Amino acid sequence: MSRVDALDLGLVVAGHGRHYIVETPEGRRLTCHPRGKKSDCVVGDRVRWQVSGDEGVIEGVEPRRNLLFRQDEWKTKSFAANLDLILVMVASEPVFSESQLTRALIAAEDAGIEARILLNKADLPNIDSARDRLRPYAAMGYMVHEAALKARPDEARALIDPILAGRTSLVLGPSGTGKSTLINLLAPDARAQVGEISQALNSGRHTTTTTQWYWLDASRTTGLIDSPGFQEFGLRQVSAQVLPSLMPDFAQHAKQCKFYNCTHLHEPGCGVRAALERGDITETRYRIYGEILHELSQTRY
């Protein structure tokens, strides 16, 4: 057993800058600081730590099962690690961006994590157009669920509880879609769980500016992670060649392409463009593919 293996195990439940909140197996929470760059960690990480005064020092991070992150030209932003499910939330209002949705789904595919879509605010009149825009995502194989978290909370719980039970899930989505409403519905003691501590980490600000872990059950088997909204969702971690394989509607039709290295932009005998002509791939998805491919083909200096 190495020196680090002999240390206590903990779960990272919140983080901000170089401060982390680590939870012990007994459920005690304490502020920890990483020792050196090597112990940089994210929410969901299992870490080895030891006491240092009334705080803790993180000495090492256990190997990760997976890591969800986004990467633009200059920086990498990690969402969380060791996830079973990514719940991408959208709503009938505000109108959601299919580009953001697609990017989140691609990042999940790339990280090897199951993703589902949750459409909220089913009580509002705009629901029909939101539903229409999500139909292609269901057709390409994603589970698409619909709820009215605020208007019909009991019904929403009955739908969502079994999906999350016993797993670690990350909620992702633009602000205003109902992420906090979901957390407060499923974790009624949400404030008590991380509130005070994150208040300290956030220096008193009220909106979600850090990623936070909530337990949904007393036996602490079901974890739900809330993350702050984001503007950009860079996918620089993905190589241009594998991009179509991370988009299920493209992957399916790319098998028919004449050239194995088809970019689906202008080659003859392209199965993807044939599917686009038939309407089996939507104009929107094809446009988003082109935009992401273009980003990934930019030279980095």
The footprint of Zn ion (CB under 5 A) covers: 257, 262, 264, 270, 272
> Measured between alpha carbons, how far apart are the two ends of the chain, in Å?
43
Q: Which residue is nearest to Mg ion (CB)?
A: 180
Partner whose binding site includes residue 270, from ligand GDP, Zn ion, Mg ion, none (CB under 5 to 8 Å by kind): Zn ion
Task: Specify the residue, 49 or 213, whose C-beta has the smaller distance to ligand GDP.
Answer: 213
Within 10 angstroms of residue 256's Cβ, the number of other Cβ atoms is: 13
Residue 51 within binding range of ligand GDP, rule CB under 6 A: no
Residue from the set 16, 65, 150, 236 that interacts with ligand GDP by CB under 6 A:
150
Q: Which of residues 172-191 bind ligand GDP (CB under 6 A)?
A: 175-181
**What's the CA gap between 195 and 202, in Å, rounded?**
10
Q: Which of 104, 95, 234 is nearest to 171 (CA)?
A: 104
Q: Are 99 and 232 in contact (CB under 8 A)?
A: no
DSSP H helical ranges for the chain? 98-111, 127-139, 153-164, 179-186, 190, 196-201, 248-254, 271-278, 283-297
Residue from the set 72, 73, 123, 128 that interacts with ligand GDP by CB under 6 A:
123
Q: Where are the beta strands (DSSP E) in 17-147?
A: 19-23, 29-34, 46-52, 55-61, 67-71, 76-81, 85-91, 114-120, 143-146
Q: Which of residues 65-94 bind ligand GDP (CB under 6 A)?
A: none
Min separation Cβ 119 and Mg ion, Å: 17
Task: Specify the residue, 61 or 170, whose C-beta has the smaller distance to ligand GDP.
Answer: 170
Min separation Cβ 180 and Mg ion, Å: 3
**What's the CA gap between 212 and 224, in Å, rounded?**
8
Residue from the set 42, 87, 140, 149 that interacts with ligand GDP by CB under 6 A:
149
CA dihedral 63, 208, 188, 83 (to 10 degrees): -20
Min separation Cβ 97 and Zn ion, Å: 25
Residue from the set 71, 208, 237, 252 that interacts with Mg ion by CB under 5 A:
208
Task: Specify the residue, 18 or 259, whose C-beta has the smaller distance to Zn ion.
Answer: 259
**What's the CA gap between 67 and 63, in Å, rounded?**
10
Min separation Cβ 182 and ligand GDP, Å: 7
Q: Are 98 and 284 in contact (CB under 8 A)?
A: yes
Residue 180 within binding range of Mg ion, rule CB under 5 A: yes
Residue 202 within binding range of Mg ion, rule CB under 5 A: no
Query: Which positions touch ligand GDP (CB under 6 A)?
Result: 120-121, 123-124, 148-151, 175-181
